[in-house]
Amino acid sequence: MEYVKSAFASIKENRGRSFLTMLGIIIGIASVITILAIGNGMKSTVGGELNDMQTGGITIVLNGKKTDKHLTGAEVREIGEKIPEAYGASPSVTGFVDLSARHKISANASGGNENVIYSQNKEVVAGRFFNTEEAESGSAVAVLPQACAAMLFGSTRAVGKIFEMTVNGKSMEITVVGLIKSEEKEIEQAYRIANGTEVSSSYPTIYVPYTLLTQSFGSPGENITSFKIFPHPNEQDAASLRTRRVTESLLGLRGQDAVTVQSYASMLETFNKILNVVTLVVAFVAAISLLVGGIGVMNIMTVSVTERTREIGIRKSLGARTSSILLQFLIESALITLIGGFIGMIAGYSLTFIVSKFMSFPPKIRLEDVALVVAISSSIGLFFGIYPALRAAKMNPIEALRYE
């Protein structure tokens, strides 16, 4: 404890010089913490978006350059039933449509079979989803988000109501059989759009039988060359591999590499690997200032040893052990970097908060990253403090007492 008090007294006595010595440590730690926070925030944000996309299903595509075979709706359903890692499979037919009831809006139509309900993680809060028979017969039914119903009908009580859907100039009356839950803020915005007090900046997605789009509106997709499976949580990779094997066996395409899996789980893994490397490289460059700060600590401690040569000689002549002198100067150098590390940590938090105001995603500070950076800074203080501490400890007391 006496050594710590002595180290604090020495730092306080030369506070200006000590602060300048800490500056490299402060800048290095603040920079590394900020860079790691930005990298973690980006990974978290993009990972969340990809996971949300993953809930929309994994897309399986037949490569038209390697095969001219296709699937039927019944075969897609059969494939889904053979994948225990998935809720099911559905054809994927999409189109841009115009809807008309009390108000007129444009929307994206997502066509599939009854399993397309698994393409979103929101519950059906009113009515029901269309069933197998409706999906295969091309029934004129649809499931809407509550916000879409609010824009179209001016009300979220829309089950059983009829609207007109137009695709490429062809129109048909469609009955609403179910409503999907929307966030409260989405519904409020939808009412503002319906009342003309706000302009829509995006298009809602409605769900209809894929056969409605292909048979009644002439959308391509009767000969299915791509479909989606909806894996259980944490079963994306297993579901993808099994679906590929089942599809190849069903169509006799084994070994032809004609079935492609577009998995967001693989995309997320690749993205994380790339971002980890980029973050580490940038953090390493920023950490160079920690090295510079460490050299500064060694320099200032060498000066301190020179200035206190006579003090060291007196202490040694009074019986101070070599290990005591060594420990005294090591503690002082460690304290300089520890204090610099603490200030750098605060500066890093502050800088991250400021940077977050100009970014489209929130940075994410992990406590383990902060602890690691501060531990490294303390280790740098000890490492670069060894030379001046050894120099002080090995001084000849007689020569030290003669020093002026």
Domain presence at residue 58: no
Counting the structural domains of the chain, the total is 2
**197 or 303, greater pLDDT:** 197
Domain presence at residue 237: yes
d(Cα 77, Cα 355) in Å, to the nearest integer?
49
Say if residue 91 is in the same domain as residue 210: yes
* pLDDT tens digit sequence for 116-141: 888 766 689 999 999 999 998 999 99
Ramachandran angles phi, psi of 170, nearest 5°: -100, 130
* pLDDT tens digit sequence for 233-292: 878 878 888 999 999 998 888 888 888 887 665 666 676 777 777 767 766 766 676 677
CA 19 vs. chain centroid, Å, equals 37
Buried b (16+ CB within 10 A) or exposed e, 332-347: bbbbbbbbbbbbbbeb
Domain presence at residue 265: no
Write down which residue in 231, 257, 283 finishes a domain.
Answer: 257
Say if residue 14 is in the same domain as residue 158: no
Closest among 380, 385, 354 to 288, alpha carbons compared: 380
d(Cα 5, Cα 221) in Å, to the nearest integer?
79
For the record, the structure tokens of 335 come out as 């304290």
* pLDDT tens digit sequence for 321-363: 767 777 777 777 777 778 887 888 888 888 888 877 776 667 7
Residue 224 is part of which domain span?
64-257
Say if residue 129 is in the same domain as residue 198: yes
Say if residue 169 is in the same domain as residue 205: yes
Domain presence at residue 382: yes
